[in-house]
Amino acid sequence: MKGLIKCLLLPLVLLICLSTIQCQDVKLTCLSLEEKEYLQELHSVFEKTLIDHYGKLEKHDLIFNYVNDFSQLSIAEINTLFFQSFKIDTTAEEFHKLFIKYSQLPPEEDILDDDIEEVIIIGSGAIIDDKGNIIDVGDIDAIKEMTAHLPTDYYVINPNSSFVSCFLQQKSKSYKVNNLMELISVDVSPSMISGAISEDFKESEFKDELLQTYIMLHLFVLPKLTIQSM
């Protein structure tokens, strides 16, 4: 039951700060050369896919358009529009550093952040507290129906990877981006992420490379991996 509910948990806390962002060139010097190259490969596939759909625009404009569309389209529509032209190689060494199957997460990583007082499961009405205890189970039939098409196991970002450690060392000039990056390895519903980012970030803020990386991983790579494994 816990694993089933986790698929729909939305533990995303965006602390809204009124601050002006300035683009910062993020130098991931804490990554190895191979890790940098792998991350750049993912960014390149992401950018090429968006250019094929939206045309030749500045990267931040491409990503801004993508997040807005993602927040309004179904995952089936996203798959048709964006995920058909490529496949993610799950055999690469760096892939297995950055991503891990949900079932392989250490037990302590399956606990909600203490700052999250409650999490609502969309469509079912179920509520759990910050200790993971179910307060109101909601509509079990709705949960089963919503998760029937999902794979029994799926990829998430490895919270103990060198990638995550490096991401957390980087600091943007935007408090909102820094708060978001603190949740880089938290398993969150893509629809919740896209809706929150679309609502809370201005178009100019999409120039931030850390924000671009977060979006690329959570709204592009992970959804593609889930669909690819179905």
Look at residue 90 and tell me whether its pLDDT is greater than 60.
Answer: yes
Among the residue ranges 27-41, 60-74, 118-132, 212-226, the one predicted with the least confidence is 118-132
Whether 43 is in a domain gets the answer: yes
Q: What is the pLDDT of residues 37-52, one digit of tens each?
A: 999 999 999 999 999 9
**How does strand 127-129 pair with strand 99-101?**
unpaired
Residue 127, in any domain of the structure = no
Q: Which tokens hold the place of 40?
A: 């750049």
pLDDT of residue 10: 32
Does 171 or 20 have the greater pLDDT score?
171
How many structural domains does the chain have? 1
* Model confidence at 100: pLDDT above 70: yes
pLDDT band at 17 (very low <50, low <70, confident <90, very high): very low
Q: Does 187 map to a domain?
A: yes
Residue 207: pLDDT above 80? Answer: yes
* Domain contains 107: no
Q: What percent of the chain has pLDDT over 70?
A: 68
Let me know if residue 79 belongs to a domain.
yes
pLDDT tens digits, 181-194: 888 888 888 888 99
* pTM, rounded to two decimals: 0.73
> Is 204 inside a domain boundary?
yes
**pLDDT confidence band for 149 (50 / 70 / 90):** low
Q: What percent of the chain has pLDDT over 90?
A: 47
Burial class for 178, CB neighbours closer than 10 Å (0-12, 13-18, 19+)? middle
pLDDT beyond 80 at 13: no
Residue 196, pLDDT above cutoff 50: yes
Mean pLDDT of 20-48: 77
Tallying the residues shown for the chain, one arrives at 230
Quick check: is 25 in a domain?
no
Print the domain residue range for 187: 30-101+156-228
Structure confidence at residue 142 (pLDDT): 54
The reported pLDDT for the residue numbered 153 is 80
Q: What is the pLDDT confidence band of residue 222, given thresholds at 50, 70 and 90?
A: very high
Question: Is residue 147 in some structural domain?
Answer: no
